[in-house]
Structure 1
């Protein structure tokens, strides 16, 4: 049988400002956050909207049977709780809101992993109804699924209760039994016992009583030599997560800087190479143009006579002397050179276009490679986040298994002592 140590905490919600809550706590904000809803606070004028928060499994409000109808309206209930906490009618701060008023109490507890969703809801409703019946308060419960950074078996319930009793006339006297130093611990202990019994009854109703048992007693009360461990707490957990986040961000910044430097160097090399290719192509083009122009100049130098139109007598004389055939030959050679020049110009244009296309292809390929490297870095960061989360969960599970082994050893020694 697996023994589950009951995880349950009781805390007050107080307006006093703290380092964790520089503006103080309010019941409206706490209720909106836990129920993933929106509540406009009449006392502060703030609107607390947590409808996009997520993680809520089920929520409900339990009130005394003779309570006003608005007592089960979450927004009206906690606004009434806030507005109720004022100073008395006399004095310099008459009717002002109390600066250090306790506006609510929160009871936070976890469920055994073996308990079904229906069983969890039944337990939450039963415990809330118990608080209503036993203390005459209103209980607002919300079941949350495990957080993304924690143990994925950690379904838990936040139950906020009013710090005043609810009657047909509304919120009245304070529940002082929870405040007294002499009685408070006794009530907490009784509530833990009731919660453990309710959880075990729910497990038994699902046929799981032989597999798991919720234990609320301390090791000392059980006669065990095992030493209790101190709950790490939200502040320490968040501090450790923040330290890991800072470490990841530092690593990411270092990798990004190195990648940016590398990309800048690669871009510089690509630009320099492409400029060199363009320069070489321009030099080749200039040499080809110079060679062709030089050949044409030499041809014209050897044949300085211009080709002029002539009359019939002149054409006959040219034909008899042979000058006509030389002129025709010269004209053909000139046309051939001009055709070659035009062809060369077309080749130059095509080569330039081909070079530009190739350079654009290289630039695009390099940009895609750089983008892929940047995406790879983001995936590596996400992998580190997932690894840190998994390591945190595994550490908690190892701690639980360690406690379970110690508990089994205590049980074996107790059995051995009984046989002796």
Structure 2
């Protein structure tokens, strides 16, 4: 089911961070540190970026629509500050998106949240949706949000005065963001017919007696191997199409949405082996009439030949092998 995860950190120069590098990472792009510079941040080979967009308040200047220019001007503004080496650049927020929702539905959810929390208050926002890490849980689709601590000034040439927070003010602000995310995500889950819900409160505050688990990050290779072996014995998850979309703003002011890079949830599941010598993915063993059984040899051969690439057609030929909960893939209309 959907889980609650929202972390807030400041992007700080004192820790060696750069808003240009972070924006390039989030969007999977190459951004020059300065116009015409030979130094740049290049994450074009990173992969896993499903959607990225810059959202701006009304009456924003045209240069703010260009990712590189937006963050270069912020960096230049911080260079003029009194403590430029220790400057705090932006809010860096990571959020787990509900895996029950399609990519299109998660995009609408993210837009609602960004608009409600930031653009309506006058902030530029650079955000992106990433696919699950192949080494982790295949349901871990997540959202990266990068927000400058400065609003674009009234003249529109640069950024204005920086926001300052006491510990109490920051705690209250983040608590409000967490609560708003839970409310909005639950509203979208209910809208699309899901019973799952998330809660930003601690387990103790919710009245649960179980102890909270600890985030372990990327697990050791040996642990991942055992998890992959276990997943290989389970029926395949319903396959939902994932399409990366890119918003482009042209010189004449027109906007186009391009759709590229199609893949499915099964592409995010690595089974056995290690990074250099991954083990082949075995034919799945879904439930047959609610009783676990092996597939007939001819069905296995057909799956390996073409069925894994076209599961909708395969389970039309072999309806008795269709796993419980399987939903035919549908292209999202963006």
TM-score (norm 2): 0.63
Return the match for 1:27 from 13, 19, 27.
Answer: 19
CA spacing shift, 1:52–1:384, aligned 2, 3 Å: closer
Task: Tell me the alpha carbon deviations over residues 92-130 of structure 1, each in whole angstroms, 9 at most, x when there is no partner.
Answer: xx7xx7111111111100112211111110011111112
Unaligned runs of 5+ in 2: 226-271, 281-334
CA distance, structure 2, for counterparts of residue 241 and residue 74 of structure 1: 36
Counterpart mapping for 1:49-128 below 5 A: 49-87=42-80, 98-128=84-114
Q: Partner residue of 1:14?
A: 12
| SS state at 2:126 partner | strand
Distance 1:144 1:86, change over 3 A: same
**1:137 Cα shift?**
1.4
- 2:251 is matched with none
Within the alignment, does 1:40 sit opposite 2:36 as a pair? no
- Return closer, same or farther for 1:167/1:381 CA change in 2, 3 Å cut-off: closer
Whose radius of gyration is greater, 1 or 2?
1
1:136-171 deviations in whole A, cap 9, x for unaligned?
Answer: 211111001111111111110101011112233331
Supply the distance in 2 between the matched residues of 1:155 and 1:380 (Cα, whole angstroms).
24
Q: Is the 8 A contact 1:140 1:159 kept in 2?
A: yes
User: Per the alignment, do residues 205 and 230 of structure 1 end up closer, same or farther by CA in structure 2, a change over 3 Å counting?
Assistant: same
Q: Which runs of 5+ in 1 are unaligned?
A: 18-23, 89-93, 246-378, 388-420
2:200 equivalent to 1:207: no
Separation in 2, partners of 1:381, 1:182: 46
Does structure 1 conserve the Cα–Cα contact (< 8 Å) formed by 2:55 and 2:119? no
Corresponding position of 1:397? none
What are the residue-to-residue correspondences of 1:21-420 with 2, within 5 Å?
Answer: 24-42=16-34, 46-87=39-80, 98-133=84-119, 135-169=121-155, 170-176=158-164, 179-208=165-194, 211-233=195-217, 237=218, 240-241=220-221
Moved over 4 A (4+): 241-245, 379-387
CA distance in 1, matches of 2:44, 2:79: 30
**Separation (CA, whole Å) in 2 of partners of 1:82 and 1:45:** 17
Distance 1:243-1:42 versus aligned 2 partners, 3 A rule:
farther
State how far apart, in whole Å, the 1-side matches of 2:273 and 2:223 are.
18
1:220 alignment partner, SS class: helix
Which structure features the higher share of strand residues? 2
Structure with the higher fraction of residues in helix conformation: 1
Task: Quote the Cα distance in structure 1 between the aligned partners of 2:93 and 2:224.
Answer: 30
CA distance in 1, matches of 2:154, 2:32: 24
- State the shift of 1:61 in Å: 0.6
Once the 2 structures are TM-superposed, how far is the Cα of residue 384 of structure 1 from its aligned partner?
Answer: 6.9
Q: Given that residues 128 and 140 in structure 1 are in contact (C-alpha distance below 8 angstroms), is that contact kept between their aligned partners in structure 2?
A: no
Give the SS at the match of 1:189: helix
- Aligned-residue Cα RMSD (Å) equals 2.8
CA shift, 1:227, in A, is 2.7
Residues 134 and 191 of structure 1, relative CA distance in 2, 3 Å threshold = farther
> 1 CA distance for matches of 2:26 and 2:123?
18
The 3 A distance-change label for structure 1 pair 81 and 87 is: closer
